[in-house]
Amino acid sequence: MSVESRYLEAREMYRAVGVDTDRALEELKGVKISMHCWQGDDVNGFDSKGPLTGGIQTTGNYPGKARNPEELMADIDEALRLIPGTHKINLHASYAIFEEGEWADRDKLEPKHFRRWVEFAKERGLGLDFNPTFFSHRLSEDATLSSENEEIRRFWVEHGKACLRISEYFAEELGQPCAMNIWIPDGFKDIPGDRLAPRARLKKSLDEILAEPYDKEKVYVTVESKVFGIGMESMTVGSHEFYMNYAAKNGVMCLLDTGHFHPTEMVSDKLSSMLLFYDKVALHVSRPVRWDSDHVVLFDDETREIAKEIVRGGTDRFVIALDFFDASINRVAAWVTGMRDMIKALLYAELLPNARMAELQDKRNFTELMVVSEEMKTMPFGDVWNYYLHEMGVPENWFGEVVRYENEVLSKRG
Ligand code: RNT
Ligand code: ZN
């Protein structure tokens, strides 16, 4: 049976339970996911040769990681060929591209250092998002925006401001908003002697960064909290309470990373509360396995639960990015799996009888609600998904393509 006839049959089955598959596919086409560039090279970047610091870690030594901008761009291209839709690329400041003999420290970065990324995005119709890089740098060893050392704190404030200017440049060049996310690794391994002063300094630093004039329609500033990091087990300066209050009072957005809460806390349950107090909510969808391990996003329960909240709350109210870095598997396959599974989860949520499910809840008919939600799991979802891939010109079976790319390109890298 052809993809089309399988789809037509599935469409009838969904129609019978009150779900319009054509509408769902239309909705899905409009959703952009920001694909993080850092899966391609284990969060190394191009601006220094030093190690990855900041209490985040990649594990594994799978061959073929990108070693320079050309390789990273080629790998991104290979991944995008296998992902339905037109999306965004999420860059870190450490991915600045310098001309021969040129170099600028983080506080001196300028739009021109990202010109090649803008060209890359323009040629492909992609958007760009941005992140100042407050780690993997000689001045980030102790603390950054919360530093007690005024010179170091100022350096990172200047970095934040430089990144705001670069974000605005992205938005202007590409004709779509750029989300600029602030995450810092500041925190303490053991019980602090003072929790207030570092947080007060972080607050002051953020105020100073945001004093840089920028167009709020073009740049969405987001602040990302975290419960702990490696070497910051006892306290992070940028905790959830800190940023949630900061964002609410200063008109910026909160970014929730699915790995940045206690393991039994679910980000999916937090989103509706955020929607009641913010216009938009930003996400780093990741997969924490027992801790903030940054495994590849899968089509699993929590990803589907998050997707339901996005679809029910309105896809236009979310700024969705992925954040994982697995160095133990083929990195292109990691991107393709994560992106396709996020999109798949959104389609799954679009194909639920959401209004009927809300109504069952209001009638307190929890038996039928459970039954409906379970029955939906074995509907011919795959037939709708495959039709979407077909419509978007992306192969159903993609793994062979990545294996070929690995043999022809990745395996030749030293
Ligand atoms: C770290 C944060 C942060 C980084 C990226 C590289 O725990 O999740 O978002 O992963 O910025
Ligand atoms: Zn994150």
Give 257-315 pLDDT, tens digit per residue: 999 999 999 999 999 999 999 999 999 999 999 999 999 999 999 999 999 999 999 99
pLDDT digits (tens, 9 = 90+) for 124-176: 999 999 999 999 999 999 999 999 999 999 999 999 999 999 999 999 999 99
| Residues catalogued as catalytic | 183, 224, 226, 257, 260, 284, 292, 294, 323
pLDDT digits (tens, 9 = 90+) for 4-37: 999 999 999 999 999 999 999 999 999 999 999 9
Confidence of residue 414 (pLDDT cuts 50, 70, 90): confident
How far does the centroid of ligand 2 lie from the alpha carbon of residue 112, in Å?
Answer: 26
Q: In this structure, what CATH number is given to the domain that contains residue 208? A: 3.20.20.150
Element (H, E) at 318: strand 318-322
What is the tally of structural domains in the chain? 1
Angle at 407 between CA 406 and CA 410, to 5 degrees: 45
Distance CA 269, CA 309 (A): 8
What residues flank ion ligand 2 with Cβ within 5 A? Answer: 257, 284, 323
Residues 374-402, mean pLDDT to the nearest whole number = 98
Residue 406 lies in a domain: no
| 157, two tokens | 């404030």
pLDDT value of position 186? 98
Residue 377 lies in a domain: no
Ligand nearest to the CA of 43: 1
Cβ neighbours of residue 404 closer than 8 Å, sequence gap 6 or more: none
Ligand nearest to the CA of 182: 1
pLDDT value of position 108? 98
Residues 332-345, mean pLDDT to the nearest whole number = 98
Residues 198-227, mean pLDDT to the nearest whole number = 98
Residue 23 lies in a domain: no
Q: Nearest C-alpha to atom 1 of ligand 1 is from which residue?
A: 56
pLDDT digits (tens, 9 = 90+) for 58-91: 999 999 999 999 999 999 999 999 999 999 999 9
Helix (H, G, I), strand (E, B) or coil at 232: strand
How far does the centroid of ligand 2 lie from the alpha carbon of residue 56, in Å?
Answer: 10
Residue 411 lies in a domain: no
Ligand nearest to the CA of 324: 1
Residue 186 lies in a domain: yes
Confidence of residue 48 (pLDDT cuts 50, 70, 90): confident
Q: Is 183 in the pocket of ligand 1 (CB under 6 A)?
A: yes
pLDDT value of position 239? 98
Residues 375-382, mean pLDDT to the nearest whole number = 98
Q: Nearest C-alpha to atom 2 of ligand 1 is from which residue?
A: 183
pTM summary value? 0.97
SS (H, E, C) 157-187: HHHHHHHHHHHHHHHHHHCCCEEEEECCCCE
Class of residue 17 by CB neighbours under 10 A (exposed 0-12, middle 13-18, buried 19+): middle
How far does the centroid of ligand 2 lie from the alpha carbon of residue 323, in Å?
Answer: 5
Containing domain of residue 171, as a range?
31-348
How far does the centroid of ligand 2 lie from the alpha carbon of residue 243, in Å?
Answer: 14
How large is the angle between the packed helices 331-350 and 69-80, nearest 10 degrees? Answer: 40
Cβ neighbours of residue 68 closer than 8 Å, sequence gap 6 or more: 46
Q: Is 257 in the pocket of ligand 1 (CB under 6 A)?
A: yes
- Kindly give the pairing relationship between strand 253-257 and strand 235-236: unpaired
Residue 15 lies in a domain: no
The overall average pLDDT reported for the chain is 97
Given the CA of residue 55, which atom of ligand 1 is nearest to it? Answer: 7
Residue 388 lies in a domain: no
pLDDT value of position 49? 86
What percent of the chain has pLDDT above 90? 98
Of 36, 56, 254, the one to substitute when testing ligand 1's pocket (max ligand atoms within 8 A of C-beta) is 56
Given the CA of residue 286, which atom of ligand 1 is nearest to it? Answer: 8
Q: Is 131 in the pocket of ligand 1 (CB under 6 A)?
A: yes
Ligand nearest to the CA of 94: 1
Residue 6 lies in a domain: no
Residues 102-131, mean pLDDT to the nearest whole number = 98
Q: Is 186 in the pocket of ligand 1 (CB under 6 A)?
A: no
Q: Is 284 in the pocket of ligand 1 (CB under 6 A)?
A: yes
How far does the centroid of ligand 2 lie from the alpha carbon of residue 328, in Å?
Answer: 19
Beta bridge partners of 129: 90
How far does the centroid of ligand 2 lie from the alpha carbon of residue 156, in Å?
Answer: 19
How far does the centroid of ligand 2 lie from the alpha carbon of residue 11, in Å?
Answer: 37
In whole angstroms, how large is the CA radius of gyration of the chain?
Answer: 22
Number of residues that this document lists for the chain: 414
Q: Is 223 in the pocket of ligand 1 (CB under 6 A)?
A: no
